[in-house]
Amino acid sequence: MDFVMDRSALDDLKNAIRTIPDYPAPGIQFRDITTLLGDARAFRRAVDELVQPFAGLKIAKIAGIEARGFILGGAVAHQLSAGFVPVRKKGKLPHETVGMPYSLEYGDDEIEVHRDAVSRGERVLLVDDLVATGGTAEAAVKLLSSLGAEVVAACFIIDLPDLGGADRVRRLGVPVRTLVSFAGH
Ligand code: AMP
């Protein structure tokens, strides 16, 4: 999963991400990818780089985490000729669901997928825009695994390594690919 990306391409991607200080709470540096999504070259480059290690690996489904993981995951699914599975906040999906609770800094939350969204043994790639503490991604890996899917890897545009989320997902035995990283929260 290790790779060397052209430094100037990497800088371009990083520069396409806007940082909003103290949003949504004091002390948080919000990494806003809407600027990257609005930049045709950066969006294409980010999707190409997310996809690159997985071409030819027979990925059956992309699982995208609500909501920014839907935008990236849809594009990644198209590139890999895979299906797309939305991983949503509790109560949003219309058919029979399975859920997985996880802890946030303040309180708890739960993500859900449709029970029939993946089948036993299906090879799934998890996609989101950013991994912070890894709590959301960990819950998604456990949820998909509980349905018998094989989570082949997880990929994110942004890593916040000081929060340890990528390593948390790796400890579940799931390789992680990230494209750019930012220090701090
Ligand atoms: P976590 O479960 O802590 O890894 O948080 C990951 C989720 O929260 C992702 O869906 C991110 O989009 C969002 N998130 C967490 N921290 C930030 C941040 N600093 N900037 C933007 N999004 C964030």
What is the pLDDT at residue 10?
86
**How confident is the model over 115-142, as a mean pLDDT?**
98
Query: Which residue among 110, 130, 131, 180 is best mutated to probe the pocket of ligand 1, counting the most ligand atoms within 8 A of its Cβ?
Result: 130
Q: pLDDT digit string (tens) for 89-119?
A: 999 999 999 999 999 877 899 999 999 999 9
Query: Which residue among 36, 71, 88, 136 is best mutated to probe the pocket of ligand 1, counting the most ligand atoms within 8 A of its Cβ?
Result: 136
Is 44 one of the annotated active-site residues of the chain?
no
What is the pLDDT at residue 89?
97
In the block, residue with structure tokens 């999906």: 93
Percentage of the residues of the chain whose pLDDT score is greater than 90: 91
Collapsing DSSP to helix, strand or coil, 128 comes out as: strand
Nearest C-alpha to atom 13 of ligand 1 is from which residue?
Answer: 130
What is the pLDDT at residue 125?
99
Q: How far is the centre of ligand 1, averaged over its atoms, from the C-alpha of 130 (Å)?
A: 6
Q: Is ligand 1 within 6 A of the CB of residue 73?
A: no
**How confident is the model over 44-55, as a mean pLDDT?**
98
Distance in angstroms (rounded) separating the CA atoms of residues 165 and 156: 11
3 has a pLDDT exceeding 60: no
Q: Give the domain ranges of the chain.
A: 7-181
Distance in angstroms (rounded) separating the CA atoms of residues 160 and 182: 5
Distance in angstroms (rounded) separating the CA atoms of residues 129 and 159: 9
Q: Which atom of ligand 1 is least distant from the CA of 139?
A: 2
Sign for the pseudo-dihedral over CA of 32, 35, 38, 40: negative
Q: How many CB atoms lie within 10 A of CB 29?
A: 15
**Segments of the chain assigned E as strands:** 18-21, 29-32, 61-65, 83-89, 97-103, 108-114, 123-131, 150-159, 176-181
Q: Which atom of ligand 1 is least distant from the CA of 182?
A: 19
The one catalytic residue in 31, 45, 49, 68 is 68
Q: pLDDT digit string (tens) for 4-49?
A: 578 888 889 999 999 999 999 999 999 999 999 999 999 999 999 9
Which listed CATH number (3.40.50.2020, 3.20.20.70, 3.40.50.10490, 3.40.50.150) goes with 7-181?
3.40.50.2020
What is the pLDDT at residue 8?
86
Distance in angstroms (rounded) separating the CA atoms of residues 184 and 60: 35
Distance in angstroms (rounded) separating the CA atoms of residues 99 and 114: 9
Distance in angstroms (rounded) separating the CA atoms of residues 66 and 150: 20
